[in-house]
Amino acid sequence: MPMVGRVGAVATVATLAFCVWLLGGWGSEDFRIAFEDNVFVVLSLFATGCAAHTAFRCRGRQRISAAFIAIGLAGWTVGSVLWAYYEWFLKVSPFPSAADIAYLMLPLSICIGLLIAPVGASGYTYTRLTLDGFIVTAAFFQIGWLTILGGLFEAGGASRFAVGVALAYPIADLLALTVAMLLLGRAPAPHRTPLTLLTVGMALMTIADSIFVYMNSHNDFRLTGYSSVGWALGLLLIALAGLCTGVPQQRVAGERSFSQVAMWLPYVPIVIAIGAAVARFGTTPGMPPALIASVLLIMLVLLRQFIVVAENRRLLAAVAAQAMSDPLTGLANRALFQDRLEHALALHRRDNRQSVAVLSLDLDDFKLVNDGLGHPAGDQLLVQVAARTLARARSSDTVARIGGDEFVVLMEGDDVASREVAREVLRAFDEPFVVDGHDLLLRPSAGLAMVSADDAEVSPELLLKQADMAMYAAKRSRTPGVHTFSPADVSVADAPERDRTALAYDSTVAYKLLGQLRHAIDNQELTLAYQPKFALGDGSIVGVEALVRWPHPDRGLLAPDQFLQLVRDHGLMRPITELVFAKALDQIAQWRDLGLLVPVAVNVFAPSLSDSTLPETVGRALRRRGLPHELLTIEITEDLLLGNTEGAREVIKRLRQSGVRVAIDDFGSGYSALSYLRELYVDELKLDRAFVTTVLVDKRAAAILRAVIDLANELGLTTVAEGVEDPETAALLRDYGCQVAQGYLYTAPLTPAAMLSLLRSSRQAPDEAISS
Ligand code: C2E
Ligand code: CA
Ligand code: CA
């Protein structure tokens, strides 16, 4: 047993023996007085020493706190010395006396010491603690006064000073006791044992003091033994509290939020005090109504306080929950996801049994929904996506939204099951979403990364990054289904091409680029490249497609995919479209003036199609240059036609009535291509590059392409194959009945000057143009 433990044990045994003696009352009167007084001097000295020892061992606020308790105990020691002097030498037992002042130092110092002690849970202010202490003390005092003390002082003819001292004991004791109890309710574990000892010690002292006051004011000393036992045990416990105060290592981690009981504790005595007052005065005839009203007021204020406290607790809980959830969808947010992921990986490290999988989902073309239908519609869509994802995941999985349209699912357990969940989540997107009355078919790109049972350690960041890289790989390859991470995806993610696309996504870069882009648009610095379209039949040029370029001061010539996202994100679509129209039509007019009548195709963002003034604007632009409407084709991207089909249909109809041709771009890359064919009347289908390039190797793709070309021919639509890169593909497409082709086989997009010379040479010899 360590030294401290032995000292405590000896003190306890000795004190208990003393208590037995006190109650037994052996020995002569003189001996008893002398022995008792001396034991109290020794006992209080011992307690003082214990507290001083604690002050010596601790630091900071805890040291000051222990020092105050030591001072209080020293006061009590002085009191007991004085008392011994009175009883032993002067043979009197005065009340009140100077000894009482010294004794009273103990509860007051304990009170101050406790308020200084660094044990209260954070957020609980000391002002409130002190106020609570006073409230409870006042309430207890009222209870005491109404039940015993009041009658006592009415009966006895005690002096004012005597009344004051007699009242000071219960008030000071109760104050210290209350503060001790309130702190105990909030104390973190390491402080609880000493505080409990101190609190119980203080309670015993309070009882003993009250008996003492009662005896002196009633001149009835039969209970002397009990008050002495109270003091002896009280001192012992306070001494033991000092002995077992541990020196805190650091700030105590994980402070427990204080209990309900600790919260309501201060109110209980108030209610009892009011009850006592009502019991005492309730029957008194002629009670002033104002008094009743006051009591009522207090009760109502109390009730209000209860409600406020309860509301605060609810608010706190809500705030805590909100810090962990995404406000829009109610899913977990990034913080909570991160936390769960760390926890899952920690478990994985420890048990090495369960695998941990992260599924990363990014909605394809979500931006277009936001731009086309507005942000509230985008929000609705996200909420639906969240609900579906959540419904398909297991209850043990964590589904989180960690960015605008990025969702992640954390899955623990068996690999096979995790894969199945991932597939299941993806199947949730088979049905269209209904937003604002529109059916939207929207798919996510999905990447899965996992650490299996016997994999080496993986950090949470790395696992999430792998899932993202897998997702990017899926997005790039445009393959449906879940793409599981493989080391090859790292090169995909880091390839320069991906960096190119990512350019506009990096926020700091994007910010700078945006300013430069605005400037470039204002100064008409964007240029156009032209890619010719060739008739598969005779190789003649049937038109050109205008493709926007940005000659960037530092980055060179930028292609659309490096800045179009920025255009969409920042509402620059209209100025860009206007600029492209103006330049393309100027170019056509210029070529016409040189005797070359070339049809031109211009790409238009789908949202611009719901602009009902588009046909008029386009018509004016053509007329101003004296160009026939038939020379212009407007290309719209098929999956851009999500949503507002009604408005788009009307605009398309008016454009076509005016003679302008309309083409569906990237046909086959979206999901409900055929339904658009039924709904929209257009002139041309541009078969998507991804479709065309696989046609030689993929039998299914070839069959579908053939069917689509047949169908288009049936409907009287021109079919244009994009991205034709080799003669075999061109030959196959011609066999299938496709009329027009465009692609690197013939030429990449050209500068206006290069395009002009190609036009000139091809006019003379169309077949040579193809082979050049
Ligand atoms: P798009 O309308 O499908 O344009 C064809 C794209 O395919 C062009 O890329 C062209 O350079 C490329 N391409 C042509 N032949 C081949 C080939 O044989 N193989 C391969 N791999 N690629 C080929 P570009 O110029 O980078 O344009 C990308 C997209 O940007 C366009 O796709 C179009 O959707 C959009 N875009 C371009 N200009 C404009 C514009 O003025 N306004 C709007 N709204 N969008 C534009
Ligand atoms: Ca196009
Ligand atoms: Ca295209």
- Residue 434's beta-bridge partner residues? 439
Mean pLDDT of all residues in 384-410: 93
By alpha-carbon position, which residue is closest to atom 28 of ligand 1? 560
pLDDT tens digits along 358-369: 999 998 878 878
Contact in structure between 309 and 132 (CB atoms under 8 Å): no
The reply to whether ligand 1 has any atom less than 6 angstroms from the CB of 604 is yes
Q: Is 617 exposed, middle or buried (0-12, 13-18, 19+ CB in 10 A)?
A: middle
Packing angle, helices 224-243 and 3-24, rounded to 10: 180
- Using 50, 70 and 90 to split pLDDT, how confident is the model at 768? very low
Q: Which of 170-184, 207-221, 227-241, 481-495 has the highest mean pLDDT?
A: 227-241
- Ligand 2 centroid distance, CA of 124 (Å): 65
Mean pLDDT of the chain: 84
Identity at 293, one-letter amino acid code? A
Distance (Å, whole) CA 550 – CA 528: 8
pLDDT tens digits along 579-633: 999 999 999 999 999 999 999 999 998 778 878 899 999 999 999 999 999 999 9
3-state helix, strand, coil in the chain (%, to 5): 65, 10, 25
Mean pLDDT of all residues in 402-425: 92
The reply to whether ligand 1 has any atom less than 6 angstroms from the CB of 600 is no
CB atoms within 10 A of CB 622: 22
Among the listed residues 491, 481, 380, the one whose alpha carbon sits nearest the alpha carbon of residue 424: 481
Pocket test for ligand 1, best of 688, 722, 755 (most atoms within 8 A of CB): 722
- Using 50, 70 and 90 to split pLDDT, how confident is the model at 182? confident
- Residue 635's beta-bridge partner residues? 603, 663
Q: Which of 84-98, 223-237, 365-379 has the lowest mean pLDDT?
A: 365-379
Phi, psi of 739, rounded to the nearest 5 degrees? -90, -35
The reply to whether ligand 1 has any atom less than 6 angstroms from the CB of 534 is no
Distance (Å, whole) CA 693 – CA 722: 9
Q: Which residue has the tokens 């000292």?
A: 7
Q: Which of 184-193, 584-593, 604-613, 677-686 has the highest mean pLDDT?
A: 584-593
Mean pLDDT of all residues in 254-270: 63
- Using 50, 70 and 90 to split pLDDT, how confident is the model at 509? low
Q: Which atom of ligand 1 is nearest to the CA of 725?
A: 18
Pocket test for ligand 1, best of 476, 547, 664 (most atoms within 8 A of CB): 547
Q: Which residue has the tokens 């493709």?
A: 547
By alpha-carbon position, which residue is closest to atom 21 of ligand 1? 723
How many degrees, rounded to 5, is the angle at CA 208 between CA 275 and CA 279?
Answer: 15
Q: Which of 171-180, 298-307, 544-553, 673-682 has the lowest mean pLDDT?
A: 673-682
Q: Which of 471-475, 525-529, 590-594 has the lowest mean pLDDT?
A: 471-475
Q: Which of 68-82, 140-154, 453-467 has the lowest mean pLDDT?
A: 140-154
Ligand number with the minimum distance to the CA of 667? 3
pLDDT of amino acid 394: 93
Higher pLDDT, 247 or 398: 398
Among the listed residues 134, 250, 109, 132, the one whose alpha carbon sits nearest the alpha carbon of residue 188: 250
Higher pLDDT, 336 or 477: 336
* pLDDT at 549 exceeding the cut of 90: yes
- Ligand 3 centroid distance, CA of 733 (Å): 17
Ordered alpha helix ranges (H), 145-266 = 150-155, 160-186, 189-218, 224-243, 260-264
pLDDT tens digits along 4-18: 889 999 999 999 999
Mean pLDDT of all residues in 677-698: 84
By alpha-carbon position, which residue is closest to atom 10 of ligand 1? 749
Higher pLDDT, 360 or 413: 360
Distance (Å, whole) CA 641 – CA 438: 11
The reply to whether ligand 1 has any atom less than 6 angstroms from the CB of 532 is no
Identity at 438, one-letter amino acid code? H
- Using 50, 70 and 90 to split pLDDT, how confident is the model at 493? very low
Q: Which atom of ligand 1 is nearest to the CA of 635?
A: 2
pLDDT of amino acid 535: 96
Residues in contact with 319: Cβ distance below 8 Å, sequence separation at least 6, in sequence order: none
By alpha-carbon position, which residue is closest to atom 23 of ligand 1? 723
- Residue 484's beta-bridge partner residues? 448
Distance (Å, whole) CA 17 – CA 24: 10
- Residue 603's beta-bridge partner residues? 635
- Ligand 2 centroid distance, CA of 603 (Å): 5
* pLDDT at 673 exceeding the cut of 80: no
Q: Which residue has the tokens 């001396």?
A: 38
pLDDT tens digits along 21-40: 998 878 888 888 889 999 99
Contact in structure between 421 and 393 (CB atoms under 8 Å): yes
Q: State both tokens at 767.
A: 């077949």
Contact in structure between 722 and 733 (CB atoms under 8 Å): no
Q: Which pTM value belongs to this model?
A: 0.44
Handedness of CA 488, 492, 495, 499 (dihedral sign): negative
pLDDT of amino acid 515: 86
The reply to whether ligand 1 has any atom less than 6 angstroms from the CB of 580 is yes
Distance (Å, whole) CA 62 – CA 717: 88
pLDDT of amino acid 156: 59
pLDDT of amino acid 656: 95
Packing angle, helices 267-281 and 289-322, rounded to 10: 160
CA within 13 Å, CB half, 533: 24
pLDDT tens digits along 303-353: 888 888 788 777 777 766 667 888 888 899 888 898 899 989 888 888 776
Q: Which of 128-132, 534-538, 638-642, 658-662 has the lowest mean pLDDT?
A: 638-642
- Of all residues in the chain, what percent carry a pLDDT higher than 90? 41
Whole-number Cα distances in Å, 101 to 90, 113, 410, 771: 19, 18, 67, 115
Distance (Å, whole) CA 700 – CA 707: 11
Distance (Å, whole) CA 120 – CA 185: 9
Among the listed residues 611, 661, 654, the one whose alpha carbon sits nearest the alpha carbon of residue 632: 661
Distance (Å, whole) CA 732 – CA 736: 6
The reply to whether ligand 1 has any atom less than 6 angstroms from the CB of 630 is no
The reply to whether ligand 1 has any atom less than 6 angstroms from the CB of 666 is yes
Q: Which of 214-223, 278-287, 760-769 has the lowest mean pLDDT?
A: 760-769
* pLDDT at 175 exceeding the cut of 70: yes
The reply to whether ligand 1 has any atom less than 6 angstroms from the CB of 668 is no
Ligand number with the minimum distance to the CA of 578? 1
pLDDT of amino acid 181: 84
Mean pLDDT of all residues in 745-752: 95
By alpha-carbon position, which residue is closest to atom 34 of ligand 1? 603
Ligand number with the minimum distance to the CA of 692? 1
